[in-house]
Amino acid sequence: MPKIIPVTLLVLFTYSGLSQVYTNKPGKKQQVNTDTLGPYDDVLPILGRKAHERGFDLPYSAGISLNYLFQESSIIINNLQVGFNKGDMYNLDNIIRFNDATAATNAFNFRPDIWVFPFLNVYGIFSGSKSSTAVDFSVNVPNGTGYTEVLTAKTKAEFQATTVGFGLTPTFGVAGAFVAIDMNFSWSDIPELSKPAYVFVLGPRVGKNFRFKKERALAVWVGGFRVDINSRTDGSIPLSSLFDSGELAGKIEAGYIRLDEAQTNLDNWWSRLSASEKKQNATKYAVAQAAITKAGDVLNEVESSNGRIGNSTIEYSLDKRQEKLWNFVLGTQYQLNKSFMFRVEAGFLGTRNQVIAGVQYRFGL
**Would 346 be classed as within a structural domain?**
yes
- β-pairing verdict for 217-229 and 326-335: antiparallel
Q: Is residue 242 part of a domain?
A: yes
User: Does a structural domain hold residue 54?
Assistant: no
Q: Is the dihedral of CA 51, 53, 54, 58 positive or negative?
A: positive
Do the Cβ atoms of 17 and 203 come closer than 8 Å? yes
Sequence-ordered strand ranges (E) for the chain: 62-84, 90-91, 96-117, 120-142, 147-174, 177-189, 197-211, 217-229, 232-238, 313-322, 326-335, 340-348, 352-363
**Residue 58 · residue 52 · CB < 8 Å:** yes
For residue 276, is it within any domain? yes
Measured at the alpha carbon of residue 329, what is the angle toward residues 177 and 105, in degrees to the nearest 5?
140
pLDDT on residue 36: 52
Quote the CA–CA distance of 355 and 349 in Å, as a whole number.
13
For residue 251, is it within any domain?
yes
User: DSSP letter at 176?
Assistant: T
Distance from the Cα of residue 324 to its chain's centroid: 11
Is 300 part of any domain?
yes
Instruction: Specify whether the CB–CB gap between 199 and 229 falls below 8 A.
Output: yes
Supply the CATH number for residue 207's domain: 2.40.128
Question: The whole model's pTM is what?
Answer: 0.79
Q: Provide the 3-class DSSP secondary structure of residue 365.
A: coil
Nearest CA-CA partner of 74 in 268, 245, 327, 363 = 327
First-last CA distance in the chain:
59
In a domain, 53, yes or no: no
CB-hemisphere CA count at 13 Å for 294? 22
CB 80 within 8 A of CB 8: yes
Q: What's the domain count of the chain?
A: 1
Backbone torsion region of residue 261, taken as left when φ is above 0, otherwise alpha when ψ lies between -120 and 50, otherwise beta: alpha
Residues 181, 223: contact at Cβ < 8 Å?
no
Q: Which residues pair with 364 in a beta bridge?
A: none
Q: Rounded to an integer, what distance in angstroms lies between the CA atom of residue 162 and that of residue 282?
A: 52
Domain assignment present for residue 290? The answer is: yes
Distances (CA, A) of 341 to 143, 156, 180, 291: 63, 37, 17, 59
What pLDDT shows up at residue 2? Answer: 34
* Segments forming the whole domain that contains residue 326: 2-23+59-363
Supply the pLDDT for residue 350: 85
Output the tens digit of pLDDT for each of the chain's 365 residues: 333 332 222 333 333 334 445 544 444 443 444 445 667 778 889 998 888 788 788 889 999 999 999 999 998 888 899 999 999 999 998 899 988 899 999 999 999 999 999 999 999 999 999 988 888 999 999 999 999 999 888 888 888 999 999 999 999 888 889 999 999 999 999 887 778 888 999 999 999 999 998 899 999 999 999 988 866 788 888 888 888 888 889 999 999 999 999 999 999 999 999 999 999 999 999 999 999 999 999 999 999 999 888 889 999 898 888 888 899 999 999 999 999 999 999 999 889 999 999 999 999 98
Whether the CB-CB separation of 4 and 80 falls below 8 Å is answered with no
